[in-house]
Structure 1
Amino acid sequence: MTQDLRAAEKFYGAVLGWEFQPTRLGDEFSVAFAEGAPVAGIGALSRALQVPVEWTPYFAVDDADATADRIRERSATVAVGPLRFGTGRAALAADRDGAVFGIWQGKAIPDWRLGRDSAPAWLELRTRDAFDAAIFYAEILDWACEQEDCCQVAYEDDHVVLRRHVHTVARITGGRVDAAPDPRIRPCWHVYFYVPDIEKAVRTAVRLGGSVVSSTSASAAVPWATLRDPDGGVFSVSIRRPEAPRPPLRAGAAPLPAP
């Protein structure tokens, strides 16, 4: 969600190479496409709401009402919905530490699945207790279950990692977020997008009024840069690195990012 839809389209179109198309939801919502495939949605906020501009992941579920009930049963918050939205039903929630996410019941566009082709690279949950968060999301989203179409959760390099087939689609990182010196830093889901050239994306973002939050060197195993758009929305860019071959894993409801 952003304050100025047209300005956001101009910024992300230049930085990430996206093109935009209108939707049935009206003039204040558009879908971004990369290489002809849908990548994300951008919607306009009313400035009177005074809510933060940010990217929010939406997770595909079979039953939005049942998932909302599981969220509440585990002492988390369902802020909005489930409500009819476009061709499906959606709800906006926050986990027990306050990280905001959405759920979506309806037809999921295959190309929106993370970690492949032009889709977003992956999601990262930055929270206080990675294991507690992993259990919470596994219980409400049926991760690591016994069903045929279920995601696999593993612990690697101090991260909880969620995979769909050979693709890493999400990571959960723990740490003392509450002790961070910047009060704006809070538990949150963070989205990474693929770009062919990180340095070019950074230069373009700065030229258009964005800023650099942090970055790694080009020699890093998976180089990335975290950027802030002119309205304050934070996201990261990375380049694709081939993943080591892995045995086929059971897949599950993959995260769908949409702002």
Structure 2
Amino acid sequence: MNHNMPTPSGTKNVVSSHSVFGAPCWVSLTSRDVKATEEFYGAVLGWQWRPAKLGDRFRIALADGSPVASIAGVAAMWQMAVAWTPYFAVRSADEAVARVQERMGTVAVGPISLPPGRAALLADRDGASFGIWEGDLFTDWETWRNAQPAFITLHTRDAFDAAIFYGEILDWASGRPGCCEVHYEGGEVVLRSRGDVVARIESGALEAAPDPTIRPHWQVHFTVEDVEACARAAELHGGSVLSKGGDEAVLRDHDGAQFTVTARRGR
């Protein structure tokens, strides 16, 4: 699993000021080469960049001036996989980590203090990596959601089993203020927060598959104005198009990380 830990930071206190819990609140990418990664995602998604407080190997991606993601150029140095990882907002990182351990998940890193909050990198029972974040968010949750990340999808062995695992860790369908609702729609488990679809879980992944694209994993979807243009830009800048159809395309960046671009009208 990948051990990328750049997470939301930059606010003044450790007490969480947001009211959304159990929903994805950030996405992070491990990279071998920060400059090449900046060039690729700048060309494909139109991102701008600013430094992160964690050091020279870290960058914050901006879409129209709003923070949308972080990049850590540590894959080669720390011998990590190159991959996108979603982070979920939680009330207590310690409690979430304990729940993962109780349910036979894996704790790779943390919880560790990353002011103004705390983070941990985990994996579910089938090996899909994800992170948790306790504390203030980088920007308002609605602003982040509308800036570019549309939603995330878990490709897993058994959608219902995965929904139970994550639900017990992240308080899905608990009725607690700010927590997410879980529905079954169109053959998938669907996670909603404030009425918006923020994640989907679908069955069919193979845990021991030699191809990592069909092993259990979280896939990050970014909204774009022109899917075709993004696909062309990816190929021109050393990436590839894994599949394309309708309002979305699955792309692989120059470093091998997989992600999806979804037409804004398709949200």
Q: So what's the TM-score if we normalise by structure 1?
A: 0.87
Residue of structure 2 aligned with 1:5, choices 11, 28, 34: 34
1:28-43 matched pairs, under 5 angstroms: 28-43=57-72
The aligned residue for residue 265 of structure 2 is 241
Identity %: 53
Q: Does 1:91 align with 2:120?
A: yes
Distance 1:55 1:167 in 2: 22
1:136-175 matched pairs, under 5 angstroms: 136-175=165-204
The aligned residue for residue 12 of structure 2 is none
Distance 2:64 2:262 in 1: 17
Task: Indicate how the Cα distance of structure 1 residues 88 and 14 shifts in structure 2: closer, same or farther if over 3 A, else same.
Answer: same
- Structure 2 residue ranges without an equivalent (≥5): 1-29
Distance 1:171 1:212 in 2: 22
Shift of residue 108, structure 1, vs aligned partner: 1.4
Offset from partner CA, 1:95-126 (integer Å, 9 cap, x none): 00000001111101344559842130100000
SS in 1 for 2:201: strand
SS in 2 for 1:144: coil
Conservation of the 8 A alpha-carbon contact between 2:68 and 2:144 = no
Shift of residue 147, structure 1, vs aligned partner: 1.2
One-letter identity of the residue aligned with 2:121: L
- Structure 1 residue ranges without an equivalent (≥5): 218-222, 244-259
The aligned residue for residue 92 of structure 2 is 63
Please provide the CA RMSD for this pair.
Answer: 1.8
Task: Indicate how the Cα distance of structure 1 residues 154 and 94 shifts in structure 2: closer, same or farther if over 3 A, else same.
Answer: same
Aligned residues: 238
Distance 1:204 1:73 in 2: 44
Distance 1:112 1:12 in 2: 22
The aligned residue for residue 212 of structure 1 is 241
Task: Indicate how the Cα distance of structure 1 residues 49 and 25 shifts in structure 2: closer, same or farther if over 3 A, else same.
Answer: closer
The aligned residue for residue 79 of structure 2 is 50
Shift of residue 146, structure 1, vs aligned partner: 1.7
Distance 1:211 1:19 in 2: 22
Q: So what's the TM-score if we normalise by structure 2?
A: 0.84
Residue of structure 2 aligned with 1:228, choices 241, 252, 264: 252
One-letter identity of the residue aligned with 1:177: L
Shift of residue 35, structure 1, vs aligned partner: 1.1
Shift of residue 6, structure 1, vs aligned partner: 1.1
Shift of residue 186, structure 1, vs aligned partner: 1.1
